[in-house]
Structure 1
Amino acid sequence: MASGVTSVLCCPCRCIFCGLLSCILSVVACVLIVAGLVFLTLYLLFRPHLVHATAASADLANFTLTPRTWILRYNLTVAVALRNPNTRIAIRYAAVQADAYYQGQPFGHAALPEFFQDTGERTEVMAQFVGQHPLEGGVAAAAFRKEAIDHARFSLDVKVRAKMSLKVWAFTVPGPRPRIDCPLLIQRRNLTTGAASTEFQPTDCRVWF
């Protein structure tokens, strides 16, 4: 008898709870469907594309390693060309930073100016790294010695990061944070004559968000 009374008392509560849960799930499903349709519509309307990045030019005026102390002295200049392939979306780049790496170790940092890129525009940003930095571990030093002997052509990486905002018509919205990785093979200038024996070939960079 007691269990029957308990069941009768709990039944209305269960009905109210089930109804409320069903209502909440219906609202969430409607919101997700509407958001998906809006996203699909905007995608089909604006057709967003990743920016294209190329290491257009590079100059390695100095890249030497002191014996025993493994202090890397460098003077590297790299021009990265960015192209906005979108026809309806303009891009503003802020907090643009570039870092140079050798054998996975960062050795130089450069802060670059902010800039605005209209649809279809190509912009070239220049990053210069000058200074000295210790290399850690004998593997990096051994790789340096090998590349120095092999025509002084060094495998470097220049990575660019930025905050991006997108301008669509009169509206500006926050965009993704692009990461650009440019693997480079650059010949150091001759330590005696100051000239490079081979010309740098433009290299495509990888872009992801």
Structure 2
Amino acid sequence: MTTRSNQPPQPNGDRRQMPPSQPPAPVASVSSNGYHQPHPPYYPRTPSRPSSSASLKGCCCCLFLLLSFLALLALAVVLVIILAVKPKKPQFDLQSVGVQYMNIAADNPTGTTASITLTIRLLFNADNPNKVGIRYGESRFTIMYRGIPLGKASVPGFFQQAHSTKQVVATISVDRMSLLQADAADLIRDASLNDRVDLRILGDVGAKIRVMNFDSPGVQVSVDCAIVISPRKQSLTYKQCGFDGLSV
């Protein structure tokens, strides 16, 4: 009598792969008209991660707001200081012109060319009417005859205390400056017959108001002086100056 085992037969070395898992079958539902409508299968969703571009935009926006706030704060501080100090334009005036030496000579017998040698001393008066100090930059002056530049002078920068007056000296030297044709003839005629030589002095003076170790925007004072010199007396006979200050 043969005994049968209830165990299923073992495969002889044959490993069979399990079929791939199938998505869950759709569940049918009954609609109002009696037809079965299957539901779509449900798949779990993975949570989305914030993109790096969004975080970068957020950082840029915060930085922009911070810089804007600092700029507005600095502007407010400057306005408060300006309203408290009430800065005024510095006064820079030409007080006197001293002729130290002047010589005009014809270079040839015909008088078609002439040379001028001149040394003059300019004395300026700088007046600071403000409650704070003023820092002046280097100033340059040019002396001209009938639109022809003859020589230049420069004054180094300096600091001026509040409510003070300071004298500034500049010396312009012209060493045998040659003039040709009509300009030479006019110069010889003015010096020998009229005893007067008309000259013009031009220059720019830059200044900044100093408040709490900070310099304000610059103020530029333009100097324009017309002077008349007597070659015989070696002295100044006429002076008229104009000054124009403007913010830059």
Instruction: Report the TM-score when normalising by structure 2.
Output: 0.59
Identify the match of residue 24 of structure 1 among 56, 63, 67. 63
Paired with 1:16 and 1:106, the residues of 2 have a C-alpha distance of: 67
3-state SS of the aligned residue for 2:81?
helix
- Larger Rg belongs to: 2
Q: CA deviation at 1:17?
A: 2.2
Q: CA deviation at 1:55?
A: 1.2
1:77 lines up with 2:157 in the alignment? no
1:130 lines up with 2:173 in the alignment? yes
1:182 lines up with 2:226 in the alignment? no
Amino acid at match of 2:190: A
Paired with 1:17 and 1:126, the residues of 2 have a C-alpha distance of: 60
Paired with 1:43 and 1:160, the residues of 2 have a C-alpha distance of: 24
Identify the match of residue 161 of structure 2 among 110, 118, 127. 118
Structure 1 residues 58 and 12: alpha-carbon distance in aligned structure 2, compared to 1, 3 A threshold: same
Q: Given that residues 84 and 119 in structure 1 are in contact (C-alpha distance below 8 angstroms), is that contact kept between their aligned partners in structure 2?
A: yes
Paired with 2:224 and 2:189, the residues of 1 have a C-alpha distance of: 15
Identify the match of residue 48 of structure 1 among 70, 87, 98. 87
Paired with 1:71 and 1:84, the residues of 2 have a C-alpha distance of: 40
Partner of 1:4: none
Structure 1 residues 136 and 64: alpha-carbon distance in aligned structure 2, compared to 1, 3 A threshold: closer
Q: CA deviation at 1:99?
A: 2.8
Q: CA deviation at 1:163?
A: 7.3
Amino acid at match of 1:118: Q
Paired with 1:151 and 1:192, the residues of 2 have a C-alpha distance of: 7
**Structure with more of its chain in helix, by fraction:** 1
3-state SS of the aligned residue for 1:73?
strand
Superimposed CA distance per residue, residues 115-169 of structure 1 (whole angstroms, 9 cap, x where no aligned partner): 5533222222122223416468878x37964993776342412425567672x4x
Aligned residues: 191
Q: CA deviation at 1:15?
A: 1.3
Paired with 1:111 and 1:35, the residues of 2 have a C-alpha distance of: 34
Runs of 5+ unmatched residues, structure 2: 1-47
Paired with 1:106 and 1:44, the residues of 2 have a C-alpha distance of: 44
Q: Given that residues 121 and 172 in structure 2 are in contact (C-alpha distance below 8 angstroms), is that contact kept between their aligned partners in structure 1?
A: yes
Paired with 2:160 and 2:102, the residues of 1 have a C-alpha distance of: 33
Amino acid at match of 1:126: V
Q: CA deviation at 1:66?
A: 4.8
Q: CA deviation at 1:41?
A: 0.9
1:148 lines up with 2:190 in the alignment? yes
Amino acid at match of 1:192: R
**Percent identical residues:** 14
Bigger relative contact order (CA 8 A; separation at least 6): 1
Q: Given that residues 165 and 172 in structure 1 are in contact (C-alpha distance below 8 angstroms), is that contact kept between their aligned partners in structure 2?
A: no
1:62 lines up with 2:105 in the alignment? no
Identify the match of residue 192 of structure 1 among 225, 229, 232. 232
Superimposed CA distance per residue, residues 85-117 of structure 1 (whole angstroms, 9 cap, x where no aligned partner): 202x02354x744432312636132445x6553
Paired with 2:60 and 2:189, the residues of 1 have a C-alpha distance of: 66
Partner of 2:243: 205
Tell me how large the CA RMSD over aligned residues is. 3.8
Paired with 1:143 and 1:181, the residues of 2 have a C-alpha distance of: 31
Partner of 2:152: 108
